[in-house]
Structure 1
Amino acid sequence: MYMRLWVLTAAVLVAALGQADAVESANQVWLVRLHPPVRVPAEPDASLELELLSRAQRRESVHRRCRAAVRESQRSLLEYLASTPWQQAQNGSEDTTATLEITPLWIQNVVIVAAPRELDGVDSFFTSALRWFPGVIDIHKDELAPWKLLPVSQFVGDTQHIDSNVSEASPQRNVRLLRAPKLWSVGIRGDGITIASIDSGVRYTHDALYGSFRGRRSHGVVHEAARDRHVSFDYSFWFPPGTDLNKETPDTADPVGHGTHTIGTALGAGGIGIAPGATWIAARAFDLHGAVTQSDFLLATQWVICPTKVDGSGKNCSLGADVVTGSFGVDRHDADTLKAWSWLTHVLQVWRQAGTTAVFAAGNTNGFLCGSVFYPASREESVAVGALVGGSTLWGASGKGPSVEDVEGGSRTILKPDFVAPGVAIRSALSTADNAFTRLTGTSMATPHVAGAVALLLSAQHKGRHATADVLGALRNTTKRELSKPFLVPSQCGGTSYKQYPNNIYGFGLPDVCSAAHELGVACGGRGLTNEQDELAIE
C-alpha cells in the first residue's frame, strides 16, 4: 500500500524531474559570502519602535535594516561582476545565454551567481580571482543542505481514500484535542494570519486548501486548475529558479505529498486543520527526494518573510508569513555539519526579529536517546514540537531534549521540545487528487498543530494586541500536563522526570488554545479540559 502512494506521486513527475536534471546540468551555482555578515540581536528587539508596529510593518522594518547592512558591500561586488568579460560581451545583445545570473540576498550577506557551464574561465574566476576581492569571506559551489524532509510512516490499510463529505461541524479528534473548535465557535479561526510552508510544495487546488490559498484571489497571470480553479503564484507560491511554470499543474505542485499533508493539519478546511481561517503560502524548496540546495533554501527563507511575484519583482513584506511551519532537520551530534551550516541560526534570528514564529519538528529519531531533538528545532529561536499517540502518550521515536547550544565562553542547556501534539495516524490532505486524504505518522504531523495554534491566537489580536511572545507564553502556561509515562523509552531526560513540567520529553505539554485565549483575555467556550483529550486520534 505504501508503494502505491509512491508510484501515484512519482508518476506525474517524470517530466518535472527531467527538467530539474536539465537545469542542474546547464548551470553551476556559486555562493559568495561577504563582510559584514547580517547580524540581529540574539534576543527579540523589545524596543518601543518595533513594539508599536504591526507584524507587517515589523517585517518591513527588519527587511530595511538587513538590506541597509549589506547594501554597500554588495554594491561593490555587483559592479565588479558587471565588469567581467562575460557580462560586458553581452551589453547591447539580446542573447543572454552566456551571461551570469546574479541574485543578491538580504537575509544574509550573500550573492548567488549562476553561470552557464560552457563559459570559459568561470571556474578559475570563482576559485581564484574573486577570492581576493575586498570583503569576500568565502566562495563555494552550491551544495545540498545536510537536512532533509523528515520521513513519515504510512498508516497501514489507509494509503489513500477519497472523501468529499468532510465537515467542520465534525472536526477530527486531533483537532479537538487542542480545543480549537471552542475558539471557532466565538469567531476566532485564524483570519488575517498567514502561515508559510517551506516543504515539498502544496496541491493548491485541494478541496481542503484551495479556499485558504492566497493565490486563489490574486491577480496577474492566471493558471487554469482542476474544476476551473484559477490561481496566481504571485506572492503565494515560490518555485526554485529554473522552474518552467508553463508546465506546473496541481499534479506537479507537490511531488512528495509531505507539504500538502502538513499545511492541511495547520489550516485545512473540513475539520482537518487547526486554523481554517488562516491564509497559506508555500515555498517549494525541497525536491522529489526530500533534499534542498543551500541557494534554494536561502531564497525560500527570505521569500516567506517578504514574498515577491513569480519573476522575483515587487517585494511586499506586508504579505509575509506570521508563522512558518517546517518539518526538516539534521542530527545535532554531527558537529562538523552543524558548524558549517550555522548560518541558518542567523536566519532564524532575523525571522524572530521580524515577528515571525518558526515552528519545527523535533525529529523522528532513536527513541532511546535523550538530547536527540534535531537542528533547527533545537535552537532557542525555534518552537520544537514532539509527537503524541492520541492525546496522552509520547510517540516513541519523537526527539527528546535537552538541547545544548554553544555560547560565548561555554555552552548552555535549553529545554526541548517546547510542546507536543498528536502525530500518529493523522488524517490530512493528500497531493494525488483534490479530494484525496491519507493518514501519516511522525513529528512532521505534530508540528503543524502548533503552527495552527499560534495562528489562532494571533488572529485574536483584534480583541487585544498580542505579540508573539505573549501568545507563546499563554500556550506554555495553559497546556494539558496529565500525560502518561512514555512506553519503552526514557521517562526522564536532562535530570527532569516526565511528571515535572516543563520537561525534556513533553516540553510544556499539549497546547490548549481555548485556555490560552482566556489567558490573553479573549473569551472562549469554557476552560475545563474534556475527556476527548485522552482519546486516541485514530477514528
Structure 2
Amino acid sequence: MSAETIPRISATVREDNFIEDSLEVIRTIRPQWIEERDNNGVEIKSKIFTDGITNKLIGFSLATNPKDVVVIKLYGANTELMINRQAEIDTMTLLHENKCGPQLYALFENGIAYEFIHGVTLTMETCRSPKVYPIVAAEMARVHKTIPLKPEDGQTQLKSAVWKKIQNFYELNDDILRTNTKLADRLLAEFGYSIEAVRSNIDELEEILERQEIPIAFCHNDILLGNVIYNEEEEKVSFIDFEYAMPNYVTFDVGNHFNEFAGIDNPDFSLCPDGAFRSVWISEYLKHFGTGGFTQEQFERWVEICIPASHLFWSIWAVVQAHNSTIDFDFAGYCGLRYVEYKKRIIRTARDMKIEPSLNEAFHDSSIQSEGPITQDVCVVFEDSTNEVLNTVNPEAFSDFEDYHRTFKAEMKSLRKESQSEVMDFMNKTGRTYKSLWLTNEMFISDASLDLCENLGSFDNVILIRKEEKFQIHKPVHAGPIVERTNESINAVEWNIDKIQAPVAWGQNNVGQGCTVGIIDTGVRTTHECFSHDPTKFVAWFDAVNGKSAPYDDQGHGTHVCGTISGSKGIGVAPMANVIACKACDSGGGCREQALKTCCQFMSDMRPNLVSNSWGGPSSDTYKSVIQAWIALGIFPFFSAGNSGPSCQTLGSPGDYANVISVGSTTSQDSLSDFSSRGQSTSGLMGPTVCGPGSNINSAWKSSDTAYRAISGTSMACPHVSGLAALLLTQNGALTLSQLKQAITQGSIKSLVDPQQTCGGTAASSSPNNMFGSGRIDCVGALQAVTALTKENA
C-alpha cells in the first residue's frame, strides 16, 4: 500500500475522550469489530501502552482475537512544529515495504492507526541482556543497510539531515525564549542554557562531525527503550515510532541508543554503555553493517562524538516541548539534564576527537614495550590554513618578485604566530622542545605522550593531532660495488648521460650555468672530486636531521643524486648548475616528516629554481600545501615515482600529485625498469609524467672523494629530469612550470620497448600512458621544444 492509498478518516481524537473517539477510527478500519460488539456483545478491549513524552498510544483488540491489535497514536500538542507528519507517513510506508516496520492502516486528523507489533518494550535491565542487545545491534544495522536513499537534488553524495532538523529546533527555541521569559530565566539560571550558547554549541559540533567521514544511512534517531519491541519467542526485535527518521550519521543512531540506557523519568547517565560493553555492542553491529573504509576503533570514536550530539539534539527539542506540550512532564528539567550532560561530554570528546584514530590506537597499543607512558612523534595541525596567504598575497600585485617573496614569508610567519602562540607558550612553560614551521603552520613534537596530546587538544586553534609521517628515500633496488676511480678511468661519459643526449647541450654552451637546483635527500659529500670543478657550486646547506653546520652524507644516496644532476667527470646532466642541499633523511634512509618539511621550508627561504626529491611514501595529502607554496614562489617540484613496480597503481606520494613532475625509470635498452612504479594514482591521475634512465646508474658515492657506485631506482631517474630542467632554464629562465613540463614531455622519446602491460586503461603504444608517462627524456628534443615555445611567446 502506497502512502497515497492509505485511508484518511475525517475524525479527531480528543485527549479527554481518547477511547471513545478512537473507536470511531476503529469503525473505519475494523468495521467487523463494531458489528461483533453491537450484535454479539463481544468486548473491544483497550490498553494504554505508554503515556510517552511526545504522543499517546493505545491499543485496541477484539476479545475473541487478541493477536489482531490496532494501535491508535494521538499526536502531542503542537508537535507538527518539530515533526514533518507527511514525512513520517512516507517513512512508515517505506519501512513496511522493506519489512522494517509495521503496516500503516489509516490517518485521522490528529494521529495515525497502525499495526501492533507483538512483544515487550526494552527495560533498563533487558537492554543489556546478552540475549537481547546483539539482536538490537543487528536490527539497527539491517535498517541502516536496507532502506534505500539517494542524494538530494543538486548533491552528489548523501548528507546528514540532522543539521536541518537542529536548525528547525533552534529557530523555534529562539522564538520561544524571547517571549517565554520565565522558561528562559530558569534554563539559564539552573543549567546555563541560552540561545546564544546553543548557537555556538551547534556550530562547534557541526564543524567536528562534518570533518569526519562517517557513513550516512537511513536512521531512526530515537531508539529509546520504549521504541524497541522484543519478541522473545521469535528472538527478534522491531523498532517503532520513526517520526524523527532521516538520513543521518549511523553513529548518531548508535550513540543516541546508548544514551537511552539512562531512562527518561529520572535519567542516570552512569548507566550508559562504556568500556568493554560498548565495544562488544558495536562489534555486534559491525558484524552486520560492515567496516568498509574504517576500523572499529575509528567507529567507536565517531560514536563518542555522536553521544554529546544526541544530548544537544534532545535538549533543544525539549525546550519546544516545554513551551507547547500538554503532557505532565518536566520538559525544562529534561532539557537541563541533557544539556548539562552535553557540556560534560563535549569538552573531553572535542579534545579527544582532535587526536587522530591511528595515533590514539598507538597510545593504547599493549604490544609496545615501554617503562613509562607510551610516546609518539606527532604533528599538531592548526585551524588557520596557509591557503589564506596563498589566496591573498598575489605575486601579480608586485613589480619585484623579491618584494613578493618577502611579503609572502612575512604573512606566513604572521599567520603562524597568530595561530600557534598559545600552544608555543604552553610548550615553553612545560619545557618541551618542538619544531614550529611557518610554511605549513604546523608544529612537530617528538616523544609526545597521550597526556600531552590531550592538553594540546584543549586549545581551540588546534584542529588535529596526528602521527608524524615517516617516509623513505626511494632506496635502490640494486647496488653494485663501490669503485675507487683512477685518473685514467675518469671523464668518460656514462651511458645514461649519453642516452639522453646531454653532451649535445653542452656543445651548445649549456651546462646548467645560472640555474640553482635544490636537493632534499641524505646530504652530500661536497668534497667529492666530481664537484671540484666548480668551487662555488654549493650555495647553501642545512641539516634537518643532526643539525651539523658542515655538509656531509652518512648514507650515500644524496651524493649519488647530486652527482647525476650536476657532477662532472661524465656523470652529471648539468655540471655547472648550482646546488642548495638539505639533509632530511638519516643514515638508514628514513625521512621524518618534521625533517622533510623543515627542508621544504629551507628551500622556500632560499628559492632555488627547482627541487629534486628522490623520496616518498604511500599516498598522502600531507605535502600538498608545500607544493602549492613552492609553485607560488616559482620553485618547480620534481619527484621520483617510487620503486613499487611492476604492478599498476603503485605511484607514491608526493610523486602522485597533479602539480609535480614525477619520474619513472628506464634501462639502457629503453625498456621500463621492472621496479618503476606505475599509474594511475589512487585519485585517478595519470602518472608518471616522464621517465629517465634509472637502472645501473653510476655516480658519486659518499665513502671517499674518488668513490663511485652503480645503483638502480627511480631515485636515480629523477635527478636526470631535474638536470634536464636546469638545462632548459639556462636556455630560458622565464619558463613557467607548465611550459617546463610541456617542453620536457614534448621532447621525450616515445619509441620505447613495450612492456606488454596496460595500466589505468592505457597501453605503452599510447602517449601519455601510465607506465612511461610521456616517454623517456631527451635533452635535444626538450631544448628544441623550449626554442619553439620562446618563439611563440616572443
TM-score by structure 1 length?
0.70
Q: Tell me the SS of whatever aligns to 1:394.
A: coil
For 1:186 and 1:46, the matched residues in 2 are separated by 37
Query: What displacement does 1:28 show?
Result: 8.7
- Aligned-residue CA RMSD (Å): 3.2
1:200 matches 2:504: no
Q: How does 1:225-236 map to 2 (within 5 A)?
A: 236=540
Query: What displacement does 1:77 show?
Result: 3.7
Query: What displacement does 1:135 show?
Result: 0.8
Query: What displacement does 1:325 show?
Result: 1.3
Q: Tell me the SS of whatever aligns to 1:359.
A: strand
Query: What displacement does 1:435 show?
Result: 1.0
Structure 2: gaps of 5 or more residues: 1-374
1:111 matches 2:443: yes
2:618 equivalent among 331, 334, 345 = 331
Give the corresponding residue for 2:594: 295
1:453 matches 2:761: no
1:180 equivalent among 502, 527, 532 = 502
For 1:126 and 1:364, the matched residues in 2 are separated by 37
Q: Deviations over 1:389-419 (max 9, x none)?
A: 11521111211111132xxxxxxx2110111
Q: How does 1:321-360 map to 2 (within 5 A)?
A: 321-332=608-619, 338=620, 342-360=621-639
Give the corresponding residue for 1:467: 736
- Matched to 1:360, the amino acid is F
Q: How does 1:370-381 map to 2 (within 5 A)?
A: 370-381=648-659
Tell me: CA distance 1:65–1:509, structure 2 relative to 1, closer, same or farther (3 Å). farther
Tell me: CA distance 1:134–1:288, structure 2 relative to 1, closer, same or farther (3 Å). same
Tell me: CA distance 1:213–1:370, structure 2 relative to 1, closer, same or farther (3 Å). farther
- Matched to 1:431, the amino acid is K
Query: What displacement does 1:210 show?
Result: 4.3
Decide whether the 8 Å contact of 2:697 with 2:712 is kept in 1.
yes
For 1:356 and 1:391, the matched residues in 2 are separated by 33
1:279 equivalent among 551, 554, 578 = 578
For 2:388 and 2:785, the matched residues in 1 are separated by 30
Give the corresponding residue for 2:417: 71
Which moved further from structure 2: 33-42 or 184-193?
33-42
For 1:191 and 1:495, the matched residues in 2 are separated by 41
For 2:669 and 2:406, the matched residues in 1 are separated by 39
For 2:388 and 2:632, the matched residues in 1 are separated by 7
Q: Tell me the SS of whatever aligns to 1:236.
A: strand
Query: What displacement does 1:471 show?
Result: 1.6
1:132 equivalent among 437, 443, 458 = 458
Tell me: CA distance 1:31–1:185, structure 2 relative to 1, closer, same or farther (3 Å). same
For 2:616 and 2:400, the matched residues in 1 are separated by 32
Structure 1: gaps of 5 or more residues: 1-26, 87-98, 217-234, 307-318, 333-337, 406-412, 525-539
Query: What displacement does 1:212 show?
Result: 4.8
Decide whether the 8 Å contact of 1:206 with 1:433 is kept in 2.
yes
Decide whether the 8 Å contact of 1:59 with 1:320 is kept in 2.
no
Decide whether the 8 Å contact of 1:177 with 1:391 is kept in 2.
no
Bigger helix fraction: 2
Q: Tell me the percent identity.
A: 25
Query: What displacement does 1:173 show?
Result: 2.3
Give the corresponding residue for 2:782: 516
- Matched to 1:303, the amino acid is F
Give the corresponding residue for 2:644: 365
- Matched to 1:301, the amino acid is C
Q: How does 1:53-64 map to 2 (within 5 A)?
A: 59-60=405-406, 62-64=408-410
Query: What displacement does 1:61 show?
Result: 5.1
For 2:531 and 2:521, the matched residues in 1 are separated by 15
Decide whether the 8 Å contact of 1:208 with 1:429 is kept in 2.
yes
1:37 matches 2:394: no
Give the corresponding residue for 2:556: 257
Decide whether the 8 Å contact of 2:543 with 2:584 is kept in 1.
yes
Q: Tell me the SS of whatever aligns to 1:208.
A: helix
Decide whether the 8 Å contact of 1:163 with 1:436 is kept in 2.
no
For 1:418 and 1:127, the matched residues in 2 are separated by 40
For 1:153 and 1:260, the matched residues in 2 are separated by 17
Q: Tell me the SS of whatever aligns to 1:427.
A: strand
1:501 matches 2:767: yes
Tell me: CA distance 1:436–1:321, structure 2 relative to 1, closer, same or farther (3 Å). same
For 1:239 and 1:362, the matched residues in 2 are separated by 25
Query: What displacement does 1:522 show?
Result: 7.8
Number of residues paired by the alignment? 416
Which moved further from structure 2: 33-42 or 272-281?
33-42
Give the corresponding residue for 1:395: 673
- Matched to 1:299, the amino acid is T
Decide whether the 8 Å contact of 1:188 with 1:459 is kept in 2.
yes
For 1:417 and 1:178, the matched residues in 2 are separated by 18
Decide whether the 8 Å contact of 1:479 with 1:510 is kept in 2.
yes
Query: What displacement does 1:383 show?
Result: 1.1
- Matched to 1:32, the amino acid is V
- Matched to 1:386, the amino acid is G
For 1:301 and 1:281, the matched residues in 2 are separated by 12
Decide whether the 8 Å contact of 2:645 with 2:678 is kept in 1.
no
For 1:163 and 1:385, the matched residues in 2 are separated by 32
Decide whether the 8 Å contact of 1:479 with 1:511 is kept in 2.
yes
Query: What displacement does 1:133 show?
Result: 2.1
- Matched to 2:487, the amino acid is S
Decide whether the 8 Å contact of 2:482 with 2:707 is kept in 1.
no
Q: Deviations over 1:210-262 (max 9, x none)?
A: 4557576xxxxxxxxxxxxxxxxxx62211365355xx6x7xx2121111111
Tell me: CA distance 1:518–1:164, structure 2 relative to 1, closer, same or farther (3 Å). same
Decide whether the 8 Å contact of 2:389 with 2:412 is kept in 1.
no
Give the corresponding residue for 1:15: none
Decide whether the 8 Å contact of 1:427 with 1:438 is kept in 2.
yes
Q: Deviations over 1:141-196 (max 9, x none)?
A: x74x342112214455x43232435666x432211222222222222211222212
Query: What displacement does 1:523 show?
Result: 12
Query: What displacement does 1:68 show?
Result: 3.9
Q: Tell me the SS of whatever aligns to 2:381.
A: strand
For 1:214 and 1:136, the matched residues in 2 are separated by 44
- Matched to 1:63, the amino acid is K
Decide whether the 8 Å contact of 2:389 with 2:411 is kept in 1.
no
For 1:74 and 1:298, the matched residues in 2 are separated by 17
Q: Tell me the SS of whatever aligns to 1:277.
A: coil
Tell me: CA distance 1:179–1:485, structure 2 relative to 1, closer, same or farther (3 Å). same
Query: What displacement does 1:288 show?
Result: 1.6
TM-score by structure 2 length?
0.48
Decide whether the 8 Å contact of 2:531 with 2:537 is kept in 1.
no
Tell me: CA distance 1:349–1:391, structure 2 relative to 1, closer, same or farther (3 Å). farther
Q: Tell me the SS of whatever aligns to 1:292.
A: strand
Q: Deviations over 1:481-533 (max 9, x none)?
A: 111112xxx52212122011111111111222222222222899xxxxxxxxx
Q: How does 1:128-167 map to 2 (within 5 A)?
A: 128-139=454-465, 143=468, 145-156=469-480, 158-165=481-488
Query: What displacement does 1:441 show?
Result: 0.9
Tell me: CA distance 1:300–1:424, structure 2 relative to 1, closer, same or farther (3 Å). same
For 2:453 and 2:472, the matched residues in 1 are separated by 28
For 2:603 and 2:534, the matched residues in 1 are separated by 16
Give the corresponding residue for 1:483: 752
- Matched to 2:691, the amino acid is V
For 1:186 and 1:458, the matched residues in 2 are separated by 14
- Matched to 1:467, the amino acid is T
Which moved further from structure 2: 29-38 or 384-393?
29-38
Greater length-normalized contact order (CA 8 Å, ≥ 6 residues apart): 1
Give the corresponding residue for 1:441: 712
Decide whether the 8 Å contact of 2:559 with 2:702 is kept in 1.
yes
- Matched to 1:455, the amino acid is A
1:270 matches 2:569: yes
